[in-house]
Structure 1
Amino acid sequence: MTDRFTHKAARLRAGAKPRLLDLFAGCGGLSLGFKAAGFEISGAVEFDPDAARSHGINFHGGAVEHCIARDITRTDPAELAADLQLGPLEDAIDVIVGGPPCQAFARVGRPKLREIDAHPQAFRNDPRARLYQEYLRYVDAFQPLAVLMENVPDLLNHGGQNLAEEICEVLEAKGYTCGYTLLNASFYGVPQMRERMFLIGYRREVAQRVTFPKPSHWMTLPPGYEGSRAVALKVLNSLLDDAHDYLDPPSPRRDLIPAVTAEQAIGDLPPIYARRQLAAGVLKRGARRFNETIPYDRRRKPSAYASVMRSWSGFEAPADGLSDHVIRYLPRDYELFARLNPGDQYPQAHQHAMNMLEERLAELRRQGQMIRTGSAEYERLKDAIVPPYDASKFPNKWRKMWRDQPARTLMAHLGKDGYSHIHYDSEQSRTISVREAARLQSFPDGFVFSGTMNPAFRQIGNAVPPLMARALAETMLMAMRGEREETADEPRRAAAAI
């Protein structure tokens, strides 16, 4: 082991906190999970100004140098270390985490990945490879003891390529032992069925093999999630790819704690009765700013999960209430939301809307108004009641949540289209609020999102769930400190909290 790695490893094994750099950090889902596990968040690189400011506010008290949006392709590691006062570059960071956007890997084959790594300047203008190249550049510069990458499952079968395997090959050439798998967040206490690929690498001098955290919760995933996993893994069985770095995900046991449900996650939050607010003129069109607070409803008792979200150390619930418990303005659809059944998607929603249209026409006929189908008046009435999308082309565009199951995957486009997560409570008849989305992603109530509603939704949807990150961080910390793995009968600390 070189002196540099000897010094870093000895420092950790003496009990010091690992120093972490978060690339493509977003608002800090990974950072929060790793911080909860005992890591020191030394810095981050994030391109989006709102997300960068969120990260700086939550992890560095809003210090200006930590709130600056940075383009990783134009940020030199040495300059970053100097700007953030991290000390000598080669001894500044122990762990690098992050998830380069998957577009960076599109159609980049194994030979080209190797060539990019060997001759980075030759491909600086190649948009398919540049972000991957920058991640590697930071690994080379900081020489961390461990790395973590996160991405969508499709990375395992992107146009017939297993890009996770190819990434491992490049990292292994740099001296890392690597492994990757698919993990579902619902198995780790997150009230969301979010499936993602995680890749871990350790310097060979630190650890000889990679393991992933054992699940703390149990549920039976719906067929769609198992199907998605099967598609992502399809290439692993092909003759073109041995996938020797793929590891089967740890299986959840049926005697574990049941997965956290949507109602357990958000049922204690103050209700927002959209139809009443609309009728009273309280709910209006316009940007949703976080300048008004809503106190907690003391009549709604928090579940064990909600209690954790309210009391997370360093991110405790605001004493004066929630400022980001705001919803989208969707006046046409509130009545329709109330009619949906749990699990209903867009085809069912469209049929409900057509029924509502027929009811309205019948009511007008009773009042002596005859509206001919296809007339301009009919079309105006239809537009005011029925969503315009073709039910045969957008089957998954809408979904009303089940109260007794975890939510389906939250996406970044929640900021533009929140119909994928319609509140299970028909009396509230609305899409979820920013704070409810944060709860479903396992962000504590004291975590601050910079910007207005849409940027906040985007930050939440893009993030790694902090509880998922914490499980990974605890496993990585044990490996880097040379500690034994926990046995199958030992509950994880995070599970005990919820």
Structure 2
Amino acid sequence: MEQSKTLTVVDLFCGAGGLSAGFEMAGFRVLAGNDTFEAAGRTFSATHPHAVFLPGPIQNLTVEQLMRQTGLKRGELTVLVGGPPCQAYSVYNHQRGMHDERASLFREYLRIVEGLQPQWIVMENVAGIFSIAGGEAVHAIKLELRELGYEVEEKVLKAEEFGVPQERRRVVFIGNRVGAPIQHPEPDYGPGHDLPFTTIKDAIGDLSPLANGEDPGDIGYAHEPRSDFQRYARGNRTEVSNHSAPKLGKVNLDRLPYIPPGGSWRDIPYDLLPAGMKRAKRSDHTKRYGRMTWDGLSCTVLTKCDIHWGAYIHPEQDRAISVREAARLQSFPDSFVFAGSKTEQYVQVGNAVPPLLGKAIATSILDVMQDANKGAAA
């Protein structure tokens, strides 16, 4: 039997499917995804042809429906993945928990875990969850999962250490109910590791130049791939989608020529600064109106690549980065064509787990499973 037939994944809060794409790269078979975001569901469906997308709130998703749609029986699923919002969740703060929708979403996630009884679970969240109530939310999450029979360990992973050309921190919970060791992936990229960081030039240097506001539709590449990352991203494609530049107004266009690579709002003449920033301290808002550098890493890709809020100006061209450039910085392959409006496309990209980070997580679980199989066979 093929490995991918036996290694199965269901992705809750799946969005466009970045985490499950990484699991597919590692050899898992994604059976289903659930999300409320309709445009993300269209992207997920197009990029996960073997999976069924189940639209709507997780509150409306039943375990019976999941098993019926996937053909799974209780206890058969290899890995349940997803990123339920946990920021408000704590068993030590019932009042806050009862009235906060984000906490109830985690409760719904637990309901699916209890009903499906997956062998493994993977949850990701913002690293800031550690600071909530002195770490109580993290403690509560682990306690609740332990009561369902899962041993869980968490670790903050840096996306750039796994080949993603972006500084991004996420806490990743890995757990299982099969008594196997829990092992987070070990970094491969950056100082002290085998490979150098993937730079912005490695990531987007082969994409065709654009003018401010230009939307060429599907467009060919600027030149042959010149990095391993570009070869990975392109696959066998000859054209790329979602590569159109947001339209910046004249006041912003007047500011951009003053900002060098690695520069920011501090390089804009005082009389051209937004009114609120004329009062800012030079030490504040370090990434605002930031221009990327070819040899650096991207700042964290958010759901809006708004130049007023971060370093989202192209290293050479006087424009904001396109959806495709943001997707490359998140390590999405170009085969991911994002559905919906441009605003919805940026949201899908910014909310995603970088696929290469997902692949590293999946591979670490697979390594443990294979070691266990070897031990059982010996």
How does the TM-score come out when normalised to structure 2? 0.89
Q: Which residue of 2 aligns with 1:87?
A: 71
Q: Retained in 2: the 8 A contact 1:327–1:432?
A: yes
Structure 1 position 390 matched with structure 2 position 374: no
Q: Which residue of 1 aligns with 2:90?
A: 108
Structure 1 position 56 matched with structure 2 position 45: yes
Structure 1 position 340 matched with structure 2 position 259: yes
Structure 1 position 212 matched with structure 2 position 184: yes
CA RMSD, aligned part only?
A: 2.7
Q: Retained in 1: the 8 A contact 2:245–2:320?
A: yes
**In structure 1, the residue corresponding to 2:55 is in which secondary structure?**
coil
Structure 1 position 295 matched with structure 2 position 220: yes
Structure 2 CA distance for aligned equivalents of residues 484 and 166 of structure 1: 32
CA offsets, 1:37-87, max 9 Å, x none?
Answer: 0111000111110111111111027x8xx34522101211212332x2x12
Structure 1 position 322 matched with structure 2 position 240: yes
1:58–1:128 CA distance, 2 compared to 1 (3 A): closer
Shift of the alpha carbon at 1:256? 2.0
Q: Retained in 2: the 8 A contact 1:89–1:141?
A: no
Structure 1 position 39 matched with structure 2 position 28: yes
1:15–1:386 CA distance, 2 compared to 1 (3 A): closer
Shift of the alpha carbon at 1:186? 0.6
Q: Retained in 1: the 8 A contact 2:288–2:307?
A: no
Shift of the alpha carbon at 1:211? 1.4
Shift of the alpha carbon at 1:345? 2.8
Structure 1 position 414 matched with structure 2 position 305: yes
Q: Retained in 2: the 8 A contact 1:95–1:144?
A: yes
1:415–1:40 CA distance, 2 compared to 1 (3 A): farther
Of the two, which has the highest radius of gyration? 1
Q: Retained in 2: the 8 A contact 1:268–1:303?
A: no
1:128–1:297 CA distance, 2 compared to 1 (3 A): closer
Q: Which residue of 2 aligns with 1:251?
A: none
1:429–1:107 CA distance, 2 compared to 1 (3 A): same
1:28–1:199 CA distance, 2 compared to 1 (3 A): same
Q: Retained in 2: the 8 A contact 1:73–1:130?
A: no
Structure 1 CA distance for aligned equivalents of residues 310 and 193 of structure 2: 34
Structure 2 CA distance for aligned equivalents of residues 88 and 475 of structure 1: 24
Shift of the alpha carbon at 1:417? 6.3
Query: 5+ residue gaps in structure 1?
Result: 1-10, 117-122, 220-253, 275-282, 358-384, 486-498
Query: 5+ residue gaps in structure 2?
Result: none
**In structure 2, the residue corresponding to 1:60 is in which secondary structure?**
coil
- Choose which of 424, 434, 439 in structure 1 pairs with 2:315: 424
Query: Following superposition of structure 1 onto structure 2, how do residues 252-263 of structure 1 map, counting pairs within 5 Å?
Result: 254-263=192-201
1:406–1:17 CA distance, 2 compared to 1 (3 A): farther
Q: Retained in 1: the 8 A contact 2:305–2:320?
A: no
Shift of the alpha carbon at 1:174? 1.6
What is the number of equivalent residue pairs in this alignment?
A: 368
CA offsets, 1:369-425, max 9 Å, x none?
Answer: xxxxxxxxxxxxxxxx54343241761433211211111111113379675311111
Structure 1 position 451 matched with structure 2 position 340: yes
Structure 2 CA distance for aligned equivalents of residues 415 and 139 of structure 1: 37
1:179–1:67 CA distance, 2 compared to 1 (3 A): closer
Structure 1 position 75 matched with structure 2 position 47: no
How does the TM-score come out when normalised to structure 1? 0.68
